[in-house]
Amino acid sequence: MNLEVLRSYLARTRVTEDPITPLAEGDARIEVSGFALTSNNISYAVFGDALKYWNFFPAETDADGAWGRIPVWGFGVVTESLAEGVEVGERIYGYFPMGSELVITPGSINTESFADVSPHRAEMASAYSRYTRTSADIIYRADRESEHMLLYPLFFTSFVVDDYLEDQGDFGATTTIVSSASSKTAIGIAFLSRARGHRVIGLTSPGNRRFVESLNIYDSVVPYDEISSMPKDPSVFVDIAGDPDVVRSVHTHLGESLAFSVSLGGTHWNHGAQASTEPLPGPKPKFFFAPDQIAKRNADWGRSGLGERALAAWGPYVVWCAGWLEFREVTGADDVRDTYLALLDGRTDPRVGYICSLSK
């Protein structure tokens, strides 16, 4: 079973069933036991064509147009294997479709992990094609699977963004401004940036302002319609909302005080058509593609060195999140679809993390 969306109109969904076919030699069948669903997955869909997220798990094109399977982070169990070095019963963590199972072609196998080397994933970023064995994962704890699914992919993105900014000397800025301040990725960036002594400003909607303020990790919380009230200090802007009106407001207000502007997501996915063609004041926004910085740090520190640094930052963060975050289990196609649509429309409670399954 798979939940698919129409790539040209993300609010249109359908449920499909893949035919069960015998495994080819060298393949493995994975049951997707659970996955997290967050606004980050909306960003995957928004940038699905530009960054080829749709290519990970191809779906059909029919009279309605091209359909897509949005990638999610979760856990799975190997239920059948004709791949040497991948055993039935192994529990793994990685990138899955919103579905109940996935057939992969394991390759680049070692004691810690393996990759899906299926032809359609050959040119995709390796960070998204690798599956970690929970038995060898330094991050994994059986009692923290929900936190792992929901928070770790977003936190790791936050960690990589913060590392990139630090690696660049923060472009001379002393203030970090983050849009979509209630999102998990923004919260992670704020947590890490503040730990480095930066002043952090969170931009959010009036409806989420009280929640964002309650986190006590933003030095200032500014509603989108009050951006002109921000101090004009040397700043970097991390845009997670993907709303061109917000980006223009920040650039126009800060002007030359804006040292660097980076785009990370599209939580305000339905504002994209309003973008102006007029040049923005200040620096040209750069799209941040996390695998590029991951590849750099793998070269600098080695894969294990990067993992150890991320783990050191993850520990305090996940403990802090326990003070405000609650989890909600969502099972079955109808409820998972409703949760996806609520995230798409911005109708979810930022205090709640959704752990989903289509195999129960």
Clarify whether residues 119 and 164 are in a common domain.
Answer: no
Residue 204 lies in a domain: yes
Rounded to an integer, what distance in angstroms lies between the CA atom of residue 76 and that of residue 30?
Answer: 6
Clarify whether residues 115 and 190 are in a common domain.
Answer: no
Q: Rounded to whole angstroms, what are the CA distances from 336 to 34, 98, 265, 305, 333?
A: 11, 9, 22, 37, 5
Per-residue pLDDT tens over the stretch 69-99: 999 999 999 999 999 999 999 999 999 999 9
What are the backbone angles phi and psi of residue 338, rounded to the nearest 5°?
Answer: -65, -40
Per-residue pLDDT tens over the stretch 249-286: 999 999 999 999 999 865 544 444 445 567 889 999 99
Residue 145 lies in a domain: no
Clarify whether residues 208 and 99 are in a common domain.
Answer: no
Clarify whether residues 169 and 133 are in a common domain.
Answer: no
Residue 297 lies in a domain: no
Clarify whether residues 128 and 14 are in a common domain.
Answer: yes
Residue 150 lies in a domain: no
Per-residue pLDDT tens over the stretch 29-62: 999 999 999 988 998 998 899 888 999 999 988 8
Q: Which domain holds residue 192?
A: 157-291
- Tokens for 249? 């407001």
Pairing relationship of beta strands 101-104 and 65-68 according to DSSP bridges: unpaired
Last residue in a domain, options 291, 315, 337 = 291
Clarify whether residues 30 and 119 are in a common domain.
Answer: yes
Spell out the alpha helix ranges (H) of the chain: 39-46, 145-167, 184-195, 209-214, 244-254, 290-301, 303-321, 333-345
User: What does the pLDDT read at residue 273?
Assistant: 44
pLDDT at 335 over 90: yes
- Tokens for 38? 């967050």
Clarify whether residues 169 and 257 are in a common domain.
Answer: yes
Rounded to an integer, what distance in angstroms lies between the CA atom of residue 328 and that of residue 177?
Answer: 30
Clarify whether residues 30 and 86 are in a common domain.
Answer: yes
User: What does the pLDDT read at residue 269?
Assistant: 47
Asked if 144 and 312 touch (Cβ cutoff 8 Å), the reply is: no
pLDDT at 345 over 50: yes
Residue 319 lies in a domain: no
Spacing of C-alpha 229 from chain mean position: 30
Last residue in a domain, options 265, 291, 317 = 291
Task: Count up the domains in the chain and report the number.
Answer: 2
Spacing of C-alpha 358 from chain mean position: 20
Residue 147 lies in a domain: no
Clarify whether residues 89 and 19 are in a common domain.
Answer: yes
Q: Tell me the Cα Rg of the chain.
A: 20
Say which CATH number the domain at 206 has.
3.40.50.720
Rounded to an integer, what distance in angstroms lies between the CA atom of residue 180 and that of residue 75?
Answer: 27
User: What does the pLDDT read at residue 247?
Assistant: 95
pLDDT at 63 over 80: no
C-alpha count within 13 angstroms, C-beta hemisphere, residue 67 = 18
- Tokens for 123? 């040119």
Say which CATH number the domain at 39 has.
3.90.180.10
